[in-house]
Amino acid sequence: MNTPADGRGLPGTNLDPWYSQYAQRTAGLSASEVRALFAVASRPEVVSLAGGMPVVSALPSNLITTAMERVMRDKGPVALQYGSGQGIPALREQILDVMALEGISGSVDDIVTTTGSQQALDLVTKLFIDPGDVILAEAPSYVGAIGVFRSYQAHVSHVAIDEHGLIPDALRETIARLRAEGRTIKFLYTIPNFHNPAGVTLSASRRSEILDIARSNEILVLEDNPYGLLYFDEKPPEALRSVDEEGVIYLGSFSKTLAPGFRVGWALAPHAIREKLILAAESAILSPSSFSQLVVSEYLATADWRGQIDTFRGVYRERRDAMVSALGEYLPQLQWTVPNGGFYVWLTLPNTLDSKQMLPRAVKELVAYTPGTAFFADGRGRHAMRLSFCYPTPERIREGIRRLATVINGELDLLQTFAGTGMLESARIDPHYASPPPDLD
């Protein structure tokens, strides 16, 4: 109808009549690579090592049904009604018991229950970030956090990590450099346990050191800990929040220890901050679902939830073992992290391979993963990928890694065969990314 000549019909112009009306922050919203993959990877013939879905089939669904029935029978009018913006007090009491397992003591008054801990991330970012403010985050970091931070126009500065987590010296240097540039650092976002996507855990000695650095630089810490109870061997060191009440906002979730379908997570905030957090939560959704909260509360009160977490540990340990052993068998020349808990392995590729460019070929071979670029705000991560072992069975994981090896080895063969012929346009190495990311080598 319109020709390009009149300027209409061009991408990003006035196909959207409201194009000129969006807020500046809206430019930062983009489809996450993980979400876009869900559609592709949901075909049953594809082994998806891409998503982060927990194994809800390992739950005793009869106990959940019973919990719902009891809630409707005994507390129906409360379950169906609006509730407190801060969340139901009985559930907040039980959340204290859950956090006690990781060394945290706190007050029920300082907990805010949220629509998954993702909402807590959103609210904390809303409270603290003006456009251009800096958030420090691990390199790599959780894709959903980077998305939220961008949506409030934050600048994410990545801090290098190694197999023991965030590197204290790198943190010091990054803070010093940013402050020398006159930047305002608002908080450090960190996932200390079984990192998503890197699979590493912050060591005990580094925990004290990181907290000291944050304290002496007056930088708030946002500790995101969805996986801490899902350890395979020994428990991880106690939470950062367990030794610093005033300087840490702690985020927890029932999505991995119970089920994500209820969307129940929480924040435990320093007392000075929590009132603002409640106001932000009320503004965003009035109150979290009373029904979901009461079902979770009833489940915690009547089911053996600690035993269920043990069950999950066994399920995920077996899958971690399957993945690590398959990697050793099929891709022995590469490097990967061996997580002691959680859902994820980080695989480093040779510098000649680009995980994002390779993905369509992998999907053609019926295996999916998340390219490393999803986990960086600055374009890094092309020579790495996240492999999730949480959802497929051990057999499928093994088959998935076998397929992945076929793709990777095929790419490497191709590169070797045609090296120097100039025929590999699509696999060309961008000089900007030619050196490996400084994070996990």
Residues 155-174 that bind a second copy (CB under 8 A): none
Q: 175-194: which residues touch a second copy (CB under 8 A)?
A: 186
- Total residues at interface with a second copy (CB under 8 A): 81
Q: Which of 101, 116, 65 is nearest to 310 (CA)?
A: 101
Identified binder of a second copy from the candidate list 49, 148, 214, 248, rule CB under 8 A: 148
Instruction: Name every residue whose Cβ is closer than 8 Å to that of residue 132 and which is 6 or more positions away in sequence.
Output: 153, 154, 155, 183, 184
Q: 71-130: which residues touch a second copy (CB under 8 A)?
A: 72-73, 76-83, 85, 115-116, 118-119, 122, 126-130
User: Cβ-count burial of 27 within 10 angstroms (0-12 exposed, 13-18 middle, 19+ buried)?
Assistant: exposed
Identified binder of a second copy from the candidate list 24, 333, 416, 426, rule CB under 8 A: 24
Minimum gap (Å) between residue 87 Cβ and a second copy: 12
Minimum gap (Å) between residue 278 Cβ and a second copy: 9
Q: 222-261: which residues touch a second copy (CB under 8 A)?
A: 246, 255, 259-261
Burial 291-306 (b: 16+ CB within 10 A, else e): bbbbbbbbbbeebebe
**Structure tokens given for 436:** 């490996």
DSSP 352-416: T--HHHHHHHHHHTTEE-EEGGGG-SSS--TTEEEEE-SSS-HHHHHHHHHHHHHHHHHHHHHHH
Q: 387-426: which residues touch a second copy (CB under 8 A)?
A: none
The residue among 135 and 349 lying less far from a second copy, judged by its C-beta, is 135
CB 246 within 8 A of CB 270: yes
What ranges make up the beta strands (E) of 217-259? 220-224, 248-253
Minimum gap (Å) between residue 119 Cβ and a second copy: 5
Identified binder of a second copy from the candidate list 41, 64, 175, 377, rule CB under 8 A: 64
Candidate segments 57-65, 307-315, 331-339, 407-415, binder of a second copy by CB under 8 A: 57-65
Binding mask 264-283 for a second copy (x = CB under 8 A): ------x-xx--x--xx-xx
CB 25 within 8 A of CB 152: yes
Minimum gap (Å) between residue 245 Cβ and a second copy: 11
Q: Is 56 in the site for a second copy (CB under 8 A)?
A: yes
